[in-house]
């Protein structure tokens, strides 16, 4: 919650006697004043102590706690599933308000800690909300659990005695699994051997030597002081109130921020104005220089027919660069051909994308390459289909390795489309044929 004041009041309300409340005014984590009073006297305390913010712990005989295992396929229906579960327990005969905390999930199965109050109990706190900006409305049981966990992170039980009641709480995964309430008299003594070693006792009569973390004053109001350690869960403030409070708090920040921002923007605006004036002058100077250069270019520009010729030459140069340099290509293929292999044939065909046009086969002269009289390449072409046939001497393994090494060298510049490998045992020779497309601009 947004809070500009460091001082606030912590209030405990026992709804069986809602006219009397207990309170502790704290600053930071120090108790300034504590005691009990009629609920109407809180207005005077607010003025005298200059307190605007409050957190409330509520004790109701009809509060309900449980840890339920629910199967929910759509998490948006979690509240509906919780309401159905509580209704099945037949806990409330009137309308109620519930809160939950998801503590475990396995697929569609959720372990959920539940807390519910009769709606009429929560409405009895409206008077306090008219006096203070209320940050939290928490069940006192949950406040005691958070206080116990602050004192002993391994706490699994809490025993609290107060005003003739003994409240026993079982903790599971930092949440309340069960609670039980029974009458208690100060003349009785709690049999602590009945409880485990991780049980935290909050008694009306405390031995200060048992606690070194907090002073006796804080422990004597543990059910109130624990409000300093609560988290966001099991808060019974309604959403509309929460949004109103947040809006109110934000309005303070917005007002302060807008004032500072206005001054900052005024300074920035002035700085931007002078920057604009300087840039405007620079722009005018550069514009004049640009116009001068433009006039010079126009006066020295060649005639339009010469420009057309230059464009045609540029196009031809671009096309020429995209052609396959047969010399470079054949030299590269020859250099990567293994020693125990010869190029039996090499076919190069211009790749044409036009329909109904046949590829023109070209067989350039090269070492071990079949030849053809037609070696003129289409100047508009860029890609070429190539087929290379190798004769490899040696046994099967040697010829296989030779073919693979040749493919490895080829893959440095091209990607083969198909490969055929056949071995003739009688001739102790393999025939390897590879086919690929080559980009003429790379050679």
Least confident of 45-49, 160-164, 291-295, 392-396: 291-295
Percent of the chain with pLDDT over 70: 80
Q: Is the pLDDT of residue 250 over 60?
A: no
153 is written with which tokens?
């992170």
Q: What's the pLDDT tens digit per position in 280-333?
A: 888 888 888 888 888 887 777 667 666 676 666 666 555 555 567 778 888 888
What's the pLDDT score for residue 360? 45
Q: Is 137 exposed, middle or buried (0-12, 13-18, 19+ CB in 10 A)?
A: buried
- Which has more confidence, 121 or 250? 121
Q: How confident is the model at residue 253 (pLDDT cuts 50, 70, 90)?
A: low
Q: The tokens of 66 are what?
A: 């449980």
Mean pLDDT of 47-56: 92
Name the region of 107 (left: φ>0; alpha: ψ -120 to 50; beta: rest).
left
Scan for tokens 């808060």, then name that residue.
235
**Of 417, 435, 433, 426, which is closest to residue 396 (Cα–Cα)?**
426
How many whole angstroms separate alpha carbon 197 and alpha carbon 432? Answer: 83
Q: Pick the closest to residue 118 from 187, 70, 75, 61 (CA basis).
A: 61
pLDDT at position 277 is 85
pLDDT tens, position by position, 114-151? 999 998 888 888 888 889 989 899 999 999 999 999 99
Q: 15-19 long-range contacts, Cβ below 8 Å, gap at least 24?
A: 15/58, 15/59, 15/60, 15/61, 15/121, 15/124, 16/59, 16/61, 18/124
Query: What SS3 string covers 86-127?
Result: HHHHCCCCCCEEEEEEEEEEECCEEEEEEEEEEHHHHHCCHH
180 has a pLDDT exceeding 80: yes
Can you read off the two tokens belonging to residue 331? Answer: 């030299």
Q: What is the reported pLDDT for 411?
A: 86
Distances (CA, A) of 439 to 241, 274, 326, 387, 443: 72, 57, 12, 14, 8
pLDDT at 373: 37
What's the rounded Cα separation, in Å, for the pair 167 and 160?
5
What average pLDDT does range 205-211 have in this prediction? 47
Length of the chain measured in residues = 443
Whether the predicted pLDDT of 186 surpasses 80: no
| Phi, psi angles (nearest 5°) of residue 153 | -60, -20
Query: What global pTM score does this model have?
Result: 0.55
**pLDDT over 90 at 84, yes or no:** yes
Q: What is the mean pLDDT of the chain?
A: 82
| Other CB atoms within 10 Å distance of the CB of residue 285 | 10
The per-residue pLDDT for range 352-384, each reduced to its tens digit, is: 655 444 444 444 444 444 434 343 344 445 788
pLDDT of the residue at 315: 65
What is the mean predicted confidence (pLDDT) over 403-430? 89
């Amino acid at each position: 919650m947004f809070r500009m004041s460091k001082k606030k009041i912590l209030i405990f309300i026992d709804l069986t006697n809602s006219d009397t409340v207990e309170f502790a005014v704290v600053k930071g984590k120090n108790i300034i004043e504590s005691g009990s009073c009629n609920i109407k006297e809180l207005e005077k305390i607010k003025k005298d102590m200059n307190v605007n913010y409050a957190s409330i712990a509520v004790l109701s005989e009809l509060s309900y706690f449980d840890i339920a295992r629910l199967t929910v396929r759509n998490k948006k229906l979690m509240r509906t599933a919780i309401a159905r579960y509580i209704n099945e327990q037949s806990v409330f005969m009137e309308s109620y308000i519930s809160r939950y905390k998801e503590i475990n999930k396995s697929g569609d199965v959720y372990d959920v800690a539940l807390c519910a109050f009769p709606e009429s109990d929560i409405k009895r706190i409206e008077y306090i909300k008219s006096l203070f900006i209320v940050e939290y409305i928490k069940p006192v049981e949950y406040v005691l659990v958070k206080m116990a966990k602050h004192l002993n992170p391994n706490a699994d039980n809490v025993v609290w005695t107060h005003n003739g009641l003994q409240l026993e709480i079982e903790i599971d995964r930092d949440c309340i699994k069960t609670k039980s309430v029974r009458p208690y008299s100060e003349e009785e003594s709690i049999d602590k051997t009945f409880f485990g070693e991780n049980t935290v006792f909050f008694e009306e009569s405390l031995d200060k030597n048992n606690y070194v973390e907090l002073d006796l004053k804080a422990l004597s109001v543990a059910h109130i002081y624990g409000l300093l350690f609560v988290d966001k869960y099991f808060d019974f403030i309604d959403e509309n109130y929460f949004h109103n409070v947040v809006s109110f708090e934000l309005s303070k920040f917005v007002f302060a921020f807008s004032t500072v921002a206005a001054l900052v923007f005024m300074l920035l605006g002035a700085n931007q104005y002078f920057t604009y004036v300087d840039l405007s002058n620079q722009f005018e100077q550069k514009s004049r220089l640009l116009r001068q250069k433009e006039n010079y270019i126009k006066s020295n520009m060649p005639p339009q027919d010469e420009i057309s010729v230059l464009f045609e030459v540029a196009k031809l140069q671009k096309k020429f660069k995209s052609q396959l340099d047969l010399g470079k290509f054949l030299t590269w293929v020859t250099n990567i051909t293994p020693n125990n292999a010869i190029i039996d044939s090499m076919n190069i065909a211009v790749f044409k994308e036009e329909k109904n046009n046949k590829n023109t086969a070209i067989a350039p002269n090269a070492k071990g390459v079949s030849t053809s009289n037609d070696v003129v390449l289409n100047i508009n072409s860029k890609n070429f289909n190539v087929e290379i046939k190798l004769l490899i001497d040696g046994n099967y393994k040697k010829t296989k390795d030779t073919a693979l090494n040749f493919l490895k060298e080829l893959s440095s510049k091209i990607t083969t489309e198909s490969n055929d490998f056949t071995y003739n045992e009688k001739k102790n020779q393999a025939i390897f044929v590879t086919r690929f497309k080559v980009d003429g601009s790379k050679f």
